Structure 1
Amino acid sequence: MSSSPVKRISEWFVKPLHDLSPEAKQPVHLTPFELLCLNVKYSQKGLLFAKPSPLENQDFSINTFLDDLRKSLSATLDHYYPLAARLATRKQENPPSYVIYIDPENSPGAKLIYATVEASVSDIIKEDVPKLVHSLFDLNDAIGHDGHTVPLLSIQVTELIDGIFIGGSINHMIGDGTSFWHFMATWSEIFKSKENYGGSISRPPVFDRTILNGSDRFINLPYTNHEQFTERFEVPLNFKERFFHFSSASVSKLKAKANSECNTNKISSLQAVIALLWRCITRARGLANESETGCRLMVSNRRRINPPLSDDYFGNPVHFVKGTAKVSDLMANGIGWAAFLLHQAIVNHDDATVRKWVKSWIESPLIIKMSQMAADLNSIHVGSSPRFDMYGCEFGLGKAVAARSGQTNKGDGKITMYPGREGGGSMDVEICLLPEYMVNFESDEELISALLIK
């Protein structure tokens, strides 16, 4: 792989294909879940494709491909118009009022970048993630509040020697992983339909937020200046990132083992895999037996409230739940014990819990500062999901070779979940650990035994 950096060749700001309706121009209020993300960096996920060979497609042209991407993105933004907008703040001194919302009237567009790099597909898909991958995404330093002045969505298309990487950076105040991959699926759908696209899509996004707040009102934040709640916290990039693959057979065996140990059938595949990782990482860190360790999971509230939100709800209705245990207990018991702790934490996060939290937060808003999250040194933090249909997004290039993420919102103990490329319930897991912990983790016998099951 050449040491030459990624070179940005062109960039465009892409607006919706058609003028917005009067209804779509109305300000979009943000829920407590989304306002919590004012200090959270952009979410970064992308897909790596093999470039068509001359034998496969003699007519392939990167310029034509980029032009088709721009046109189809513009048509997609007709449906996902908030992604082309910016945040706005309305302030009033007497009485004090500080409201942040999405302003579709201010719609400079989503950003689309074309870049090149002298690297190959094989350079990107290494199990030990190269730092080059971080350069395949835009807005590495932006936090949610920056959406007032920078795009809420930026797509970087990087041409490799033998591949194409499409990396998306989305403001976490606008959408979670479910929303991002919903958008990507729609964009892929419109791209592939080309001249057959008639203006309709298979899964229109839902923007109605009233069910989460109990009303469509704007939330009044107790501030007079953004400096009172914003924080730019930089995690040192001294951790290693590595991918591990769990076959469908391995996942099935872990799930069966966890349920058997607890004499239940309620533990999911995901809970079983995360329980294994929690135990292995805790061992790798060499934590004292009397100390406490935690496993923080990001869960969607779409189906946890009653009535449930549509799966097509576009926003960021997510929350963290956490399982905690003494290190000695986590080590003395099997993965079933750890998995059931996680299962209980998720089950207990029900409609009453969510609504109680929303009511409390609206009465006394509190913005998360990332430095507080980083101080939890004994925990692991799990994001994304193997249930996202990442490999269903093809853009005329066939099935992606791999999915990857950028550098944002990572640190020691961050776990990012992906579906395995072959499907069937397999999972890919990206682990971030300090180098000395990664050495121990890679040689953990319990981990190795699970990974060897094919």
Structure 2
Amino acid sequence: MSFPSSQGVHVISTSTIKPQILLQESQDPCYLTPWDIPKLSTHYIQKGLLFTKPSSPSKNIVDHLKNSLSCALAQFFPLAGRLVTVKQADSQSYCVYLDCSDAQGAQFIHAATQFSIADIVSPIDVPPIVQSLFPLVPGTVNHDGHTLPLLIVQVTELTDGIFIACSVNHAVADGTTYWNFFNKWSEISRTHIKFETNYKTQFNVSASNPPIITKRWFLDNQGPIINLPFSHHEEFIDRSFASPPLRERMFHFSTESLKQLKAQANSNQPNTTQNEISTFQALIALIWTSVTRARQTSLDQKTTCKLAINNRTRMRPKFSQNYLGNCVQIVSATSTVAEITSKASESSNSCGVRWAAWLLNRAVSEHSEEKVREWLEGWVKEPWFYKVGRSTDEHTLMVSGSHRFKMFGNDFGWGEVVAVRSGFGNKYDGKVMAYEGRESGSIDLEINLVGWAMSALETDEEFVKYVASPAPPGACNTLSIG
């Protein structure tokens, strides 16, 4: 498999990285759940971390990353497998599952560019070069994991930095699994540099480092084999979505501004029996109201904010955060434009950010285990698939990702993360992605909007007063490899 160079990025080499060892459980078929299967028609998860360049020769760095990746894949072996579709002999049904038995491996791409760290982080909008730092071409969907690797890594050398990007099949992993993998890979890399040990996989099953749970969970009356009522994948795979030209910007919200926003959202709420509005709910309420104003929609129009939400803590007993697979759903809050865009005032109980925050809080609070189970049962009866950009319109905001994922802590052994960026995957007008901020308690948001709406957002007074300048990276400790 080859990946064309573009936007000034030159591919030096490609290689296949297999798990250092194969666990016995990797020999069993891994059947996809109703949380996994609907994502077959969406894009891979694409996130990457930017670092200053270490003082070691690039060959040593690349070899080190390959070795530590192989070690990490021993625990995250599903990422080294491939999707398989089996047509049932007695019907026109399809069963899609994950085969890890021969560990075909992940793809590792080593690339280089003459661009610098400043070329990535200095522009107001995320520059086009960022897309070339990620593997895969636009239009690739998760169903392509039948022939493409489920994990594709691209390590790009900049003139003064290194960008490590991962594309992970979203039908196999959600954001929690994605960052668990990234965290483990960087931990192994950092540890082996620090102690100069050989790469020997050791599985720590202590309470502080529980094992990865690779067996998928199903309702008692479902699975593990789920037959899809189709005769061909073209009946449920959609590649036709074409996003209009978008502006993509990173916005930083400091700990102090978030405290102020949370206090405002929790003051004079219309329902005193609610749960306290969280910092993140207050922030997304601000984004929802501000973007809605920027879109200049008529006051009587309905507008919706959708949140991707983790089900692991909602099940009884709770799932481990190390459950490998998708365990997310979407909750929604809907209101009229007039209700959520009215200017906030101390005397009004149902206006602006407060009202939007209360609606989001209620949507999250009502997402119980019972609702999760009802959703799973309903999907099996009438299967459907997420289609990129199809469930949203110019009146919708869709928020994914989480500020709770450990991103800036991913030290591979030569210093701290300078910035987090994403690839083309699953982007459209109104898509918002949440990231951990550099300083403790801060949050970064990536917002995608059509040009005129972004320009209006940039001048929205209520929005701008909460946006802060990102904290500069500290002095990075460079460490020689090899």
- Please give the range of the TM-score, normalised by the shorter of the 2 chains: over 0.9
- Aligned-pair distance for 1:450? 1.4
- Aligned-pair distance for 1:96? 3.3
**Retained in 1: the 8 A contact 2:17–2:107?**
yes
Q: Secondary structure at the match of 1:261?
A: coil
Whether 1:244 aligns to 2:246 is no
What amino acid does structure 1 have at the position aligned with 2:74?
D
- Aligned-pair distance for 1:212? 5.0
Tell me, in whole angstroms, the C-alpha distance in 1 between the residues paired with 2:223 and 2:359: 36
Q: Which residue of 2 aligns with 1:393?
A: 410
Structure 1 stretches lacking a partner, 5+ long:
none
**Retained in 2: the 8 A contact 1:417–1:429?**
yes
**Retained in 2: the 8 A contact 1:243–1:429?**
yes
Tell me, in whole angstroms, the C-alpha distance in 2 between the residues paired with 1:4 and 1:87: 31
- Aligned-pair distance for 1:216? 4.9
Map Cα deviations across residues 297-337 of structure 1 (whole Å, 9 max, x no partner).
10111111222111111111111111110001112313121
Question: Which protein has the bigger helix share?
Answer: 1
What amino acid does structure 1 have at the position aligned with 2:339?
D
Of 420, 424, 431, 2:447 maps to 431
Tell me, in whole angstroms, the C-alpha distance in 1 between the residues paired with 2:304 and 2:159: 43
Q: Secondary structure at the match of 1:279?
A: helix
**Retained in 2: the 8 A contact 1:13–1:109?**
yes
Whether 1:290 aligns to 2:292 is no
What amino acid does structure 2 have at the position aligned with 1:293?
T
**Retained in 2: the 8 A contact 1:259–1:265?**
no
Q: 1:405 to 1:236 in 2, by over 3 A?
A: same
Q: Secondary structure at the match of 1:135?
A: helix
**Retained in 1: the 8 A contact 2:74–2:201?**
no
Of 333, 354, 357, 1:336 maps to 354
Whether 1:77 aligns to 2:73 is yes
Q: Which residue of 1 aligns with 2:476?
A: none
Q: Secondary structure at the match of 2:390?
A: helix
Q: Secondary structure at the match of 1:244?
A: strand
Structure 2 stretches lacking a partner, 5+ long:
1-5, 343-350, 471-482
Matches within 5 A, 1:272-291: 272-291=282-301
Tell me, in whole angstroms, the C-alpha distance in 2 between the residues paired with 1:335 and 1:276: 6
What amino acid does structure 2 have at the position aligned with 1:19?
L
Whether 1:223 aligns to 2:230 is yes
- Aligned-pair distance for 1:406? 0.8
Matches within 5 A, 1:386-425: 386-423=403-440, 425=441
Q: CA RMSD in A?
A: 1.8
**Retained in 2: the 8 A contact 1:49–1:400?**
yes
Mean Cα deviation higher: 264-273 or 278-287:
264-273
Map Cα deviations across residues 276-302 of structure 1 (whole Å, 9 max, x no partner).
010100000000001010101101111
Runs of 4+ more than 3 Å apart: 211-216
What amino acid does structure 2 have at the position aligned with 1:407?
F
**Retained in 2: the 8 A contact 1:261–1:334?**
no
**What's the TM-score once normalised by structure 1's chain length?**
0.94
Q: 1:405 to 1:203 in 2, by over 3 A?
A: farther
**Retained in 2: the 8 A contact 1:138–1:155?**
yes
- Aligned-pair distance for 1:361? 1.2
Q: Secondary structure at the match of 2:35?
A: helix
Tell me, in whole angstroms, the C-alpha distance in 1 between the residues paired with 2:266 and 2:398: 23
What amino acid does structure 1 have at the position aligned with 2:164?
I
Map Cα deviations across residues 237-271 of structure 1 (whole Å, 9 max, x no partner).
50100111111000111011101131566100000
Q: Secondary structure at the match of 2:384?
A: coil
Q: How many matched pairs? A: 443
Q: Which residue of 1 aligns with 2:166?
A: 168
Mean Cα deviation higher: 360-369 or 391-400:
360-369
Q: Secondary structure at the match of 1:156?
A: strand
**Retained in 2: the 8 A contact 1:235–1:410?**
no
Q: Which residue of 2 aligns with 1:146?
A: 144
